[in-house]
Structure 1
Amino acid sequence: MTLKSFSGVALAALAVTFLSAASAQANDISKCVLSGEKGSVAITPVNEGAITVETALPNPAWWNGDTPDQIADGYEYCLAANIAHRAGFDKVNLVVSSFPALIANANQNKDLAMATISITDERKKVLSFSAPYFSSDIGVMVKAGTKVDAETVKTFRIGVLQGTTGAKFVSERIKPAEEKVYAENPAMFAALMAGQIDAAITDTAIILGQAAKSNGALTVAAQYQTGEFYGAIYPKESPNKEAMDKIIDDMRADGTLAKLASTYLADSWGADPTKVPYLKP
């Protein structure tokens, strides 16, 4: 599938009508609406009776809540819930870690890890990724009223998140006047609000949600095209890769991924990501 066609599923198809009421299942896992046939794909989970997912918080719209006890929906959470449902389970267990620890894949007591993780050739050398489920570009979030174009960005003090593809893109392609690395998104966003940096650059999908919560103080003024996609990370030598990949591919084909995007991303962002102007580095 080409980038154009996949992006059409993940972004432009946000308004696609979901499955008919007859095909949608009752809500069995938190607030997630489930689809597809329960138990249609066989998976052997690391913890009996549930799918165990590692993630990094906070990540609004993708995981709605700041702690595992608070999370009941969101794009990635409900993606996990639908995987669990189609595997015949009624529960999703959450394990929270930092993004750098998650990328290190040290925790093998999980079925998959999801935290808006971009699939890259470099990461694929050491990590086992799922089928892609969302296209990934990086955006430039600034205080409202800040002028942003391809040249002014290079004069900014830019904040990036440690271990991300966005951080590498900024260092190698944008080459700003100053770059500050943060271990967690909240610290980077706080630095932007405090005037310690001029822009925060990370996944457009993440900062649109943050800007939407800022009461107009922050805006996503531009973005860069990366040609990358989000995928889950499997534990080493996972016996479930083929089965879980099939579930994700099936959810793309039957409209479930489009419905998740429409339900949890478009409304939360308050903006169409395809309308954010693109810059060339």
Structure 2
Amino acid sequence: MNLRSVLLAGLALAMVPFSALAAPLPDLGGKKVAVVTENAYPPLQFVDPKTGKPVGWEYDAMNEIAKRLNFKVEYLNTSWDAMIQAVADNQYQIGMTGITINDERKQKVDFSEPYMRSEQFMLVRADEKRFSDAKSFGEIKDGLVGAQPGTTNFYVAVYNLLDGNEQNPRIKLFETFGATIQALKTGDVDVVLTDSTAGKGYVDASGGALKLVGGPLGAEDFGFIFAKGSDLVGPVNAAIEALKADGTFDALTKKWFLDYKLGQ
């Protein structure tokens, strides 16, 4: 799969009034803000194997947001299954890990405006020939799907690839997204659903071992999360609008999805 759909989606999100360029942004006075992530979702955020440092699209975006709003970022790490509740409990002020905006999560946390739109695809081993899309996968009775419980990928797998039964034994659960990828590589599962952003990162890093197949199974918007009623939502939204308008997000998309090669 090429990145045209991702880039076009990013350009669509960037179409905001030119007046945003001139709008003054709030000044947060150098306050410290704890931002939590999982570091397991390349190229949005991950540990660079060459340097051992956390990097990615979201890091660059958050650093630029912090610069423009005048706050200091303290980056912290936690698991996906703990993140939303921890942010809801105000253990961290912002969460970022390619979090899909949906109504269920809005009951617990506030979301920023979308900063990226992506689509779900099937990630498989490069030598997979038994199926090439959701329909043909459904015809394979013993095909296994790897997923993290409670994620968009899990629910799309259950309801778009399988029979709607969340207890279906054909779906194998893992604690991290990275563990699902490892299980795919070793043949313990046959497909992992991923948005196109993370999927492209893993394909590039696989040295030809993985590929994306089939068409998009649905679009999703990513947003940063905050505790309910957080006074950071408004300023961050203003910064997101400015970064879309002045082309910063487009430049980051080019950097991380076209120019950067994970592990090279």
Pair in the same fold by TM > 0.5: yes
Cα distance in 1, alignment partners of residues 155 and 28 from structure 2: 35
Q: Per-residue deviation at 1:184?
A: 0.3
Which residues of 2 match residues 165-204 of structure 1 at below 5 A?
Answer: 165-175=152-162, 178-204=170-196
Deviations 1:159-186, CA, capped at 9 Å, x for gaps: 1122211111111222168111211022
Q: Per-residue deviation at 1:218?
A: 0.9
- Structure 2: which 5+ residue stretches go unaligned? 15-20
Cα distance in 2, alignment partners of residues 165 and 13 from structure 1: 21
Cα distance in 1, alignment partners of residues 222 and 206 from structure 2: 25
Matched, 1:131 2:113: yes
Q: 1:119 is paired with a residue of what secondary structure?
A: coil
Q: Which moved more, 1:154-163 or 1:129-138?
A: 154-163
1:211 to 180, 189, 203: 203
Q: Per-residue deviation at 1:10?
A: 1.0
Matched, 1:10 2:2: no
- Structure 1: which 5+ residue stretches go unaligned? 15-35, 271-281
Structure 2 partner of 1:84: 66
RMSD: 2.9
Contact kept in structure 2, 1:51 and 1:80, CA below 8 Å:
no
Which amino acid letter does the alignment assign opposite residue 105 of structure 2?
A: R
Q: Per-residue deviation at 1:110?
A: 2.6
Deviations 1:208-227, CA, capped at 9 Å, x for gaps: 11111111011112342423
Which amino acid letter does the alignment assign opposite residue 102 of structure 1?
A: M
Higher relative contact order (CA 8 A, sep 6+): 2
Deviations 1:132-154, CA, capped at 9 Å, x for gaps: 01102112111112131232222
Which amino acid letter does the alignment assign opposite residue 158 of structure 1?
A: V
Matched, 1:238 2:219: no
Q: Per-residue deviation at 1:99?
A: 0.8
Matched, 1:41 2:26: yes
Cα distance in 1, alignment partners of residues 128 and 11 from structure 2: 26
Q: Per-residue deviation at 1:260?
A: 0.9
Which residues of 2 match residues 49-60 of structure 1 at below 5 A?
Answer: 49-60=31-42
Structure 2 partner of 1:150: 134
Q: Per-residue deviation at 1:200?
A: 1.1
Which amino acid letter does the alignment assign opposite residue 209 of structure 2?
A: A
Contact kept in structure 1, 2:121 and 2:194, CA below 8 Å:
yes
Work out the percentage of aligned pairs sharing the same amino acid: 28
Contact kept in structure 1, 2:134 and 2:160, CA below 8 Å:
no
Contact kept in structure 2, 1:162 and 1:182, CA below 8 Å:
yes
Structure 1 partner of 2:78: 97
TM-score by length of 2: 0.80
Q: Per-residue deviation at 1:9?
A: 5.0
**Runs of 4 or more above 4 Å deviation:** 11-14
Q: Per-residue deviation at 1:13?
A: 9.5
Q: Which moved more, 1:261-270 or 1:188-197?
A: 261-270
Cα distance in 2, alignment partners of residues 75 and 189 from structure 1: 20
TM-score by length of 1: 0.75
Which amino acid letter does the alignment assign opposite residue 82 of structure 2?
A: A
Q: Per-residue deviation at 1:239?
A: 1.1
Structure 2 partner of 1:262: 254
Cα distance in 2, alignment partners of residues 228 and 60 from structure 1: 17
Cα distance in 2, alignment partners of residues 224 and 218 from structure 1: 17
Q: 2:28 is paired with a residue of what secondary structure?
A: coil
Cα distance in 2, alignment partners of residues 191 and 205 from structure 1: 20
Cα distance in 1, alignment partners of residues 84 and 13 from structure 2: 29
Which amino acid letter does the alignment assign opposite residue 228 of structure 2?
A: K
Q: Per-residue deviation at 1:205?
A: 1.1
What is the count of residue pairs matched by the alignment? Answer: 239
Cα distance in 1, alignment partners of residues 97 and 175 from structure 2: 14
Structure 1 partner of 2:18: none
Compared CA separation, residues 107 and 211, structure 1 to 2 (3 A): farther
Cα distance in 1, alignment partners of residues 8 and 79 from structure 2: 31
Compared CA separation, residues 151 and 269, structure 1 to 2 (3 A): farther
